[in-house]
Amino acid sequence: MYRRGSVVDPQSGLPSPCPRDRLLSPDSHMDVQGYKWVRWRVWLCRLAALLSLGLLLMVFHWRPRLAVLARCRSCPLALADVLLLRDSFGQQHVVEVLTEEMEAGSLELLGQQEEADWRDTVQLHKEEKTLLRYYLYEGLRYIWLDRKGAFCRVSVLSEDWTCRDLYGFQKGLSPQEQSLRRCMFGANLIDVPVKSYMRLLFEEVLNPFYIFQVFSITLWTIDEYYLYALCIFIISVISISISLYETRKQSITLRNMAQFITNVTIHRDSGEEERVSSVELVPGDCLIIPQDGLVLPCDAALLAGECLVNESMLTGESVPVLKTPLPVGDRTYSSETERRHTLFCGTHIIQAKGGRPGGSGAVAVVTSTGFFTAKGNLVSSILYPQPINFRFYQDAMKFLLILGVIAFIGTIYIFVILFRTNVTWLQLIIRSLDVVTIAVPPALPAAITTGTIYAQSRLKKRGIFCISPPRINVCGKVSVFCFDKTGTLTEEGLDVWGVMESGPAGLSELVPDPKLLPPGHMRSALGCCHTVTLLRGEPLGDPLELKMVDSTGWTLQEPEGEGDAVHAAFGGHKVLAVMRPPTQRPHSLGTTSSEAIAIVKRFPFSSALQRMSVVTVSHEGRSALAFLKGSPEMVASLCDSDTVPAQFSSTLRNFSSEGLRVLALACKPVDVNSDLTNIERGEVEKEMQFLGFLMMKNLVKPESPEVINILTLAHVRSVMVTGDNILTAVNVAKSCGMVRSDEKVIFVIATPHTAEAMPSLRFSEEDVGASAGQSPRDVTNQGLYQAGSSYHLAINGKSFAALCDHFPEHLPKVLLKATVFARMAPDQKTQLVKELQQLNYRVGMCGDGANDCGALRAADVGVSLSEAEASVASPFTSNTQNISCVPLLIREGRCSLVTSFSLFRYMALYSLIQFCSVLILNTVLTTMADMQFLFCDLFLVTLLAIVMGRGGPSEELHPWRPPASLLALPVFGSLFIHTCMIVLGQLAAFFITTTQEGYIPLNSTVFGAENLPNMENTCVFALAGYQYIIMAVVVTKSFPHKKPLYHNVIFLCLLLIHFAVMTSLVLYPGPFLGQIFKLYNFTDMNFKMLLVAVAALNFLVCFVVELLIDLGILNCLRLLRGRRPSKKQYKRLKALLSDSASWPPLDQTLSSTEHSVISFS
């Protein structure tokens, strides 16, 4: 028991992708076993490897766990030389524990809090050397901590840093401290391994596929199939060469993208600045960012100044983001919660200002390096992708095992048959093993990827780029697609619809143009509450804020250089930006428009907080005001209740129901003499005074309703996941067709446990959260299913969190019918995708990449709408800025999946055709000729297999999804029936030949090629040749997921050529071809025509059988076993709900202790 341990990941509870969250880091809770080398076992294994001619080493290469068990003994983790890791997917990995000597006395350089942890990482030996024990796994470094009794990610040493601690690093590290940290954390390098050609060749040749090829070629050579063996050898060499070139090319491309080394400036504890390589950076280094910016080589927390950052490489979002200094506080720093204050590795800092003397540059502290950065995490997800849990790939391996069993049976049959004859033992063994090389097609795994390769090529031409080709087949099985709203379903830009100002008498009339507002706080809030900045004189920022500022007519100016004059003009406060109103003009009331206002502090927008705020100072520093902008519900909760107008809820409901994006604004006076630069967010955003509403019109993209309708008709469920108001989201859902006009929307309101109340859950046709005080609508309690009316559920982020925490028994039922998820934080979007997957949905996610990164990567199919050619934010990236790419992706996925099925069945049937031919001929002591094998394998089968997948997807999305299981009854049943038809066809040709008047029996004293040419061989070869062509036609599917067969012109032409060549070989082979192919010269033309007729009959029977199977005739067999419930949880749940008259329980308040009348497990 002592040998087991775990890898501790202290960050696993965070939704942040940096350090990696549980989704992207399946090794968060790996099972770890420790082993120690045993010298005599190691030498024994070396001897066994020598005696087995390297076979044992090959087995160890395929199964590293066996190598560890054979050479080592189990031991405590603290003493282990080798570790055996098992990740959450059940995959096992072997890693070696490394040691590194550290400088004596180096630990004393660290503070007390860190020293305890760092001392745990060492062991003192007799020589009194200080050793660090660690191992590397997927680029990450894990160090041994005695106190925790486990290997922990090295990031554990910085996980408890508070924001105040980070400011403490502003003084810089000493060279000794940096050297020690580099020893612990390793080099700041995202190092993608690029293997040499020799190592790649070694690993490729040891692939079971090529070992099987070497075995086959050796066998054929011994059996004197020299020409065939040579051709297969040449093809294998070409295949290996191409594979090595492509593998190394991809590794180099990824390394060039991942590895970035530059020179940066850091601040030392001596007060000096030093220029160092980015490889030398460690967490805690104080980084100086120049005014012109740079591409960041690490993750860092911004401490001084503001940075304008392009994060498109990580998120796909092309709009630059303004980063502001990290607020000082004692809370633990997290890159996710402090995203707007964190500079991520790989992002391009366009401009830095306000953090250094002279007003230029910025100061940041390094928080993560190497693979622990956001970029390192995403590169790791490409380099070490999660195994795709897709049934098609699992069944492909199972079917290979079935073919292996068939091969074993064939081997025994041939052995018994030939054992009775006078063949030599060498011939007996060769013939028996030869059957294995025929029955198990080594090219099968490679062949089924052909459809994916064609689909990827077609997608690229349509502007959809893919970094995970196996997921193309998964697209064909998507059953629910989630969409972000803003920028995805609706236009990115918003137009100002109007403003309503709050006053003592309540809300004013709607003012359509903010320029018409009287001077006052509301107008100032619209002009100042934003994070818009200037780049080369042009305003840059969030499209919503740009529209808002533009509608006011105010202009933005930023201090240049030291900006002392500007600072002095506003009371000596450090000014970030100055907002100037339009040219002053007389107002109708005799006053003039307001003066310029300086922004001295910004708290950027946070999706989790649903708000942003600024602190401003008036001219000459006479007064200071804080302005707040955000979701109306959040802003109202931060305002004094006396200032929130009575008609707040009804007004919000009315405008949201019209599909308008509604924002609320608030303000409060701040002490102008306080330290405004270092004021905390919590102090600013409380006890505000409500100012009013800003309404913006967000139009639905014209493509959205059409695409949603296509998906609905194709039985692909559409779901909206947005951060916007729930009523706005419902309106957009109705506008784009997710909710039809005749369908009801029921709001799910869940409340968490509080000091005043227990958790509750309520289903209402009124949005209680937005219309408090209104009496609920009188509705019947009759279940909507029984009433025959369709309904959709809508839920917001707070209710979703309460539902997950307090009502898990109701969660699956809500997910089954929920169409609108509003006010969802980024981590909640990811959680939603995972919960849908728990119900066995294949989930697609389409978003703009900014707040959807986690959900895009968690989904089975993630599509990022980005102008970048390829973004690591998701498996698929579309440069078309609307959701029209979604049906195309699903169509290509279905086409690829159908093609993969066709190729799989064809390659399996090709093996079975040849298997039957060899068994029949070997039974009568003959075999196929060298050129016959070559002709069938290369000319007939390979060419057809290559072009079979060229047919493109159907233009329409059909309601029926293609199957994903190769072992399903229709697929397995058709293979069995076709195999029977193949055997019957070849036996028919054989017996027809043997009953002919001119039949010449075989010479029973010789075996194999010495018996060629003969009648039996020629007739069986003729029918088998036709069967290769027949099966290519029969198994190639078109309707409803692919274009009709005539669109694949090359395939049709090849079929005609093959048919013509095969017919000429049967009817008029001629002496030259007859000699090459070892064909018997039949003189009876009627007999030759009879062989063609048997082939034609074989085709007709197989074609009709396949047609009947497609129509579902095999499904009749399922009636014999009775109707079984679906294996998919969401289908079983849907069946249960359809029989319920009490779900959902309208206008009834459920407590967490109550249970639904429907239970589901």
Positions marked catalytic: 484
Tokens at 439, concatenated: 């029955």
Alpha-carbon distance of 499 to 525, in angstroms, equals 12
SS3 853: helix
Question: What is the CB neighbour count within 10 angstroms for residue 947?
Answer: 19
Alpha helices by DSSP H, listed for 486-542, are 521-528
Q: Would you say 286 and 267 are in contact if contact means Cβ atoms under 8 Å apart?
A: yes
Alpha-carbon distance of 117 to 115, in angstroms, equals 5
Total count of residues recorded for the chain: 1161
Tokens at 618, concatenated: 């008036």
Q: Are strands 362-368 and 464-466 parallel, antiparallel or unpaired?
A: unpaired
Q: Would you say 927 and 430 are in contact if contact means Cβ atoms under 8 Å apart?
A: no
**301, exposed or middle or buried, with CB in 10 Å at 0-12, 13-18, 19+?**
buried
SS3 865: strand
Nearest Cα to 751, choosing from 1080, 273, 1150, 461? 1150
**1158, exposed or middle or buried, with CB in 10 Å at 0-12, 13-18, 19+?**
middle
Residue 799 sits at φ, ψ, to 5 deg, of -65, -35
Beta strands in 828-917 (DSSP E): 843-847, 861-865, 876-878
Q: Would you say 615 and 529 are in contact if contact means Cβ atoms under 8 Å apart?
A: no
Phi-psi region of 431 (alpha: psi -120 to 50; beta: other; left: phi over 0): alpha
Alpha-carbon distance of 913 to 980, in angstroms, equals 10
Alpha-carbon distance of 747 to 764, in angstroms, equals 5
Q: Are strands 876-878 and 861-865 parallel, antiparallel or unpaired?
A: parallel
Question: Any bridge partners for residue 1146, and if so which?
Answer: 763
3-state secondary structure 381-442: HHHCCCCCCCHHHHHHHHHHHHHHHHHHHHHHHHHHHHHCCCCCHHHHHHHHHHHHHHHCCC
Q: Which helix (H) or strand (E) holds 250?
A: helix 226-258
Alpha-carbon distance of 578 to 566, in angstroms, equals 9
SS3 342: strand
SS3 486: strand
Q: Would you say 232 and 216 are in contact if contact means Cβ atoms under 8 Å apart?
A: yes
| Maximal CA-CA distance, the chain | 123
Question: Any bridge partners for residue 1150, and if so which?
Answer: 761
Alpha-carbon distance of 680 to 689, in angstroms, equals 18
Alpha-carbon distance of 770 to 796, in angstroms, equals 11
* Helix, strand, coil content of the chain in percent (nearest 5): 45, 20, 35
Q: Would you say 1160 and 1131 are in contact if contact means Cβ atoms under 8 Å apart?
A: no
Beta strands in 48-139 (DSSP E): 72-74, 82-86, 92-96, 98-102, 122-124, 130-137
Question: What is the CB neighbour count within 10 angstroms for residue 68?
Answer: 20
Residue whose pair of structure tokens reads 């068994």 in the numeric block: 919
Residues in CB range of 529: below 8 A, 6 or more apart: 612, 613, 614, 627, 628, 629, 665
